[in-house]
Amino acid sequence: MEEKNEFPVQERDYGTQILSIIRSESNDEEIKAQLQEYHENDIASIFEELETDERDHLLQILGSEFMSEIVSFMEDAGEYLSEIDVDEAADIIEQMDADDAVEVLDDLDEETRSEIIELIEDPEIKEDIELIDSYEDDEFGSRMSTNFIAVKRNSTVKETMKTLVSEAAENDNIYTIFIVNEDGSFYGAMDLKDLIVARSTVDLETLISTTFPFVYDKDIISDNIERLRGYSENMIPVVSSASNTLLGVITSTDIIELVDEERGDDYAKLAALSSEEEPDETLLKSMKKRVPWLIALLFMGLVVSAVVGVFESVVDALPMIVSFQSLILGMAGNVGTQSLAVTVRTLGNNEDSTFKEQFITILREIRVALLNGVVLGAISFVIVSGYLFVFTAYANTFIFAAAGCVGLAMCFAMAISGLTGAAIPVCLYRFGVDPAVASGPLITTINDLVAVISYYGLAWALLLSI
């Protein structure tokens, strides 16, 4: 039998190894040399397992430059910076990219944050931090990086290569090179590979794409992120909406994070939360995110209960029909949530859709819901008829009328639920409101109201006279 070549499985969780290196008896230089073999993200992942004195010692070993790379990957970077000397914290922040620095500074209290910024010596870094920090959280300017390479439009291939070599040490986002006019306004971009293979005699203009995608600094992230995702570029330039000046870039990593945040935000809205919850946030903070929607839904629920009260005479005469109320309400809510999810996703993936396309989406959801309602209504009619025939002593006429009432109410409620689940987010979208705010619980409550009225209305019309 042929012997198979077996290779040892490589360890991919390096936390234990890193901890053993830090806690070893090796001298500082050996520890630093060994840690430099690991990715900064792996080192950051074990920081919460270190004692305070171990963290302090590690900073002294690695220095502020190496530590700045580690801090940019930390989940609790603000907590770490708060426990070290403010001068050391400022040194670390000064070594970071401006966008990462702003993100870390946001985790600090206002006093510590201001003190650290004041201690930053490099005026260019301080200016970049203040620029990024000046934007609202939902604007691209707040998420841009100033780590990019730009050359003047009238440069030669040789001059561009020289600029690239001289700036590559400070700016590691080199795969796309941006071109600006003499006044700093954005002109276009070129790929690094095109520059590398170009002969020195080639006119730089022939390598430039003047239709390269870009965003303005004041553009709202949620309105543009799906469009950017489709370009699959390493970087997207951020241009000043006031002067057309090239200010920064949004990297592919940033785009992935932004898409993830948008999905999380939409999920929170669909779950009737004012914003996405974090696992480690306080109970009070979590409660504040849930209470506003719950109060609104409470009053809507009271409306549903009031409508049921209107049909009190029907319930008194036919107490049996209450048994099937939850069935109608549950199926209506399920259909509404399905239509809502499909519609919100459709609108998110096609932000430039026309009113005709949106209307077609609504009609499609109504048709799907109606056909499903017919099928499930027929199934319900058979099951309810059998249940009443076996377990009750009602006359056959009443049994079939009651089963028909359940089946018709389910069919009608599901069709209306498909309509509301699709129409409400489309209407919100047309008015410039995020369609995800048509949350699942909101749609469900509206559909409960429709289901209650249709079910008890049919019961009043069909059964009381029998």
User: CB within 8 A of 74, min separation 6: which ones?
Assistant: 44, 47, 80, 104
CB 73 within 8 A of CB 18: no
Bigger pLDDT: 349 vs 68 = 68
Radius of gyration of the chain (CA): 31
pLDDT band at 107 (very low <50, low <70, confident <90, very high): confident
Bigger pLDDT: 273 vs 177 = 177
- Residue 186: what are its φ and ψ, rounded to 5°? -70, 135
Q: Which CATH number fits domain 283-462: 3.40.50.150, 1.10.357.20, 1.20.120.160, 3.60.15.10?
A: 1.10.357.20
Task: Determine the Cα–Cα distance for residues 191 and 235; give it in Å rounded to an integer.
Answer: 11
Task: Determine the Cα–Cα distance for residues 461 and 220; give it in Å rounded to an integer.
Answer: 52
Rounded mean pLDDT of 39-57? 91
Rounded mean pLDDT of 386-405? 91
Give the pLDDT confidence of 259-273 residue by residue, as tens digits.
777 766 665 555 555
Q: What is the pLDDT of residue 222?
A: 81
Task: Determine the Cα–Cα distance for residues 289 and 286; give it in Å rounded to an integer.
Answer: 5
DSSP state of 5: P
Annotated domain spans of the chain: 15-134, 150-270, 283-462
3-state secondary structure (DSSP) of residue 259: helix
- DSSP for 334-348 reads HHHHHHHHHHHHHHH
Give the residue among 208, 226, 215, 177 at the shortest CA–CA distance from 347. Answer: 226
Give the pLDDT confidence of 120-175 residue by residue, as tens digits.
988 999 999 999 999 998 999 999 999 999 999 999 999 999 999 888 877 878 88
Count of CB atoms situated within 10 Å of the CB of 9:
6
Q: What is the pLDDT of residue 405?
A: 93
The proportion of the chain whose per-residue pLDDT surpasses 90, expressed as a percent, equals 50
Task: Determine the Cα–Cα distance for residues 28 and 23; give it in Å rounded to an integer.
Answer: 11
Give the pLDDT confidence of 221-243 residue by residue, as tens digits.
888 887 887 787 889 999 999 99
pLDDT surpasses 80 at 71? yes
**Ramachandran quadrant class, 272 (left: phi over 0; alpha: psi -120 to 50; beta: rest):** left
CB 190 within 8 A of CB 176: yes
Q: What is the pLDDT of residue 1?
A: 45
Task: Determine the Cα–Cα distance for residues 221 and 139; give it in Å rounded to an integer.
Answer: 6
pLDDT band at 295 (very low <50, low <70, confident <90, very high): confident
Contacts 24+ apart (CB under 8 A), 83-92: 83/52, 83/55, 84/55, 84/56, 84/59, 86/112, 86/115, 86/116, 86/119, 87/119, 88/59, 88/64, 89/116, 90/116, 90/119, 90/120, 91/64, 92/64, 92/67, 92/68
CB 335 within 8 A of CB 421: yes
Give the pLDDT confidence of 328-372 residue by residue, as tens digits.
998 998 898 889 888 887 886 676 678 888 999 999 999 999 999
Give the pLDDT confidence of 188-233 residue by residue, as tens digits.
999 999 999 999 889 999 999 999 999 999 999 888 887 887 787 8
pTM exceeding 0.75: no
> CATH top-level class for 15-134?
mainly alpha
Domain 150-270 annotated CATH 3.40.50.261: no
Count of CB atoms situated within 10 Å of the CB of 257:
13
pLDDT band at 303 (very low <50, low <70, confident <90, very high): confident
pLDDT band at 34 (very low <50, low <70, confident <90, very high): very high
Which pair of tokens denotes residue 36? 């430099």
pLDDT surpasses 80 at 67? yes
Give the residue among 319, 272, 323 at the shortest CA–CA distance from 300. Answer: 272
Q: What is the pLDDT of residue 278?
A: 57
pLDDT band at 275 (very low <50, low <70, confident <90, very high): low
Q: What is the mean pLDDT of the chain?
A: 86
Q: What is the pLDDT of residue 253?
A: 84
